[in-house]
Structure 1
Amino acid sequence: MLQALKSLFQVPTEPHERISYQRAVAALMMEVIMADDEVNEKEIIQMKDFLKGVTDLGDDVDMLFEEAKSGIKEANDLYQFTKVINDNASLDQKMALLIGLWRVAFADGDVDAYEDHRIRSISDLLFMPHSEFIQAKLIAQKEMQK
């Protein structure tokens, strides 16, 4: 009985699967897509286009999309993904990601309050100033209106 109780408090010895940079980016984008509980095909297309532009995955983007979709359901928080971005991305790359997140939100023609909140949370976790958050939103909005 005592041994079983002790085992509950032991740190697991096997390392957790490391989240790749691409998977972290895809997961954050999926968070925005799923924020309003409506998965729109235009948002998915926007996400895949962004991933193709910032990775060298090509057709493997579909597989990354499916991994992100299932991974988000299992995720407890956004920190595990934003930590990977913070450890690996420059300020310019983080700004490009924020613009990409906004493109996804604008893709269906309506930015839901939940999408806005989710991007704001991600921006905060990426240590981006509020001015960069707003600038990314305005850039994406202008691009999507063309």
Structure 2
Amino acid sequence: MFEQFQRFIQSLGGEEQRDVTHDDPRVAAAALFFHVIDADGVSDPAEREKLSELLEQQYSLNKTELQKLIDAGKQAEDEAVDFYAFTSVLKRSLDAEQRVKFIELLWELVYADGERHELEDNVVWRVAELLGVSDRDRVLMRQRVAARLGSGEDG
């Protein structure tokens, strides 16, 4: 389902994994993942686990690389004043279809704890807007994830 997106994401690392930096699309993605799971003020273990799972799968990282990316993403998120720095990196790195897939990943995080909080919803809406993802695609991705996870909210 995410094959094209995964190939793109894996290509970001090249043959050898680069050091993580603030302008690295992987760090931008991780920081936005943290924004979503921290939006409601509750750090749920299921959300943190899902964040690690998504990063590991999308970027094909070993445990050491994953931890470096998580640390860099969290630090970038802690230092950020808005989403623009992260979304601008991703907008330059992802094509339109990949940006929609990224919004789908954000919805995966929103639903990781079994509920959709309005503050998490607002973060996804704002990120989608900055990435140029239409309201229609954002809602379709939410509905797709909700249906896949069996949530009655959007089913």
Residue 58 (1) aligns with residue 62 (2): yes
- How far has the Cα of 1:114 moved from its partner? 0.3
Query: What percent of counterpart residues are identical?
Result: 23
- CA distance, structure 1, for counterparts of residue 75 and residue 22 of structure 2: 16
- CA distance, structure 2, for counterparts of residue 18 and residue 81 of structure 1: 9
Match of 1:46 in 2: 50
For residues 15-51 of structure 1, the C-alpha deviation after alignment (integer angstroms, 9 at most, x for no partner) is xx65101001101111001101111111111111111
Match of 2:123 in 1: 118
Q: Runs of 5+ in structure 1 lacking a partner?
A: 1-16
Residue correspondences, number: 130
TM-score, scaled relative to structure 2: 0.79
Match of 2:34 in 1: 30
TM-score, scaled relative to structure 1: 0.83
- CA distance, structure 1, for counterparts of residue 27 and residue 33 of structure 2: 10
- How far has the Cα of 1:62 moved from its partner? 2.2
Q: Runs of 5+ in structure 2 lacking a partner?
A: 1-20
Match of 2:84 in 1: 79
Structure number with higher relative contact order (C-alpha < 8 Å, ≥ 6 residues apart): 1
For residues 88-132 of structure 1, the C-alpha deviation after alignment (integer angstroms, 9 at most, x for no partner) is 101221122111100101010111110000000000000111100
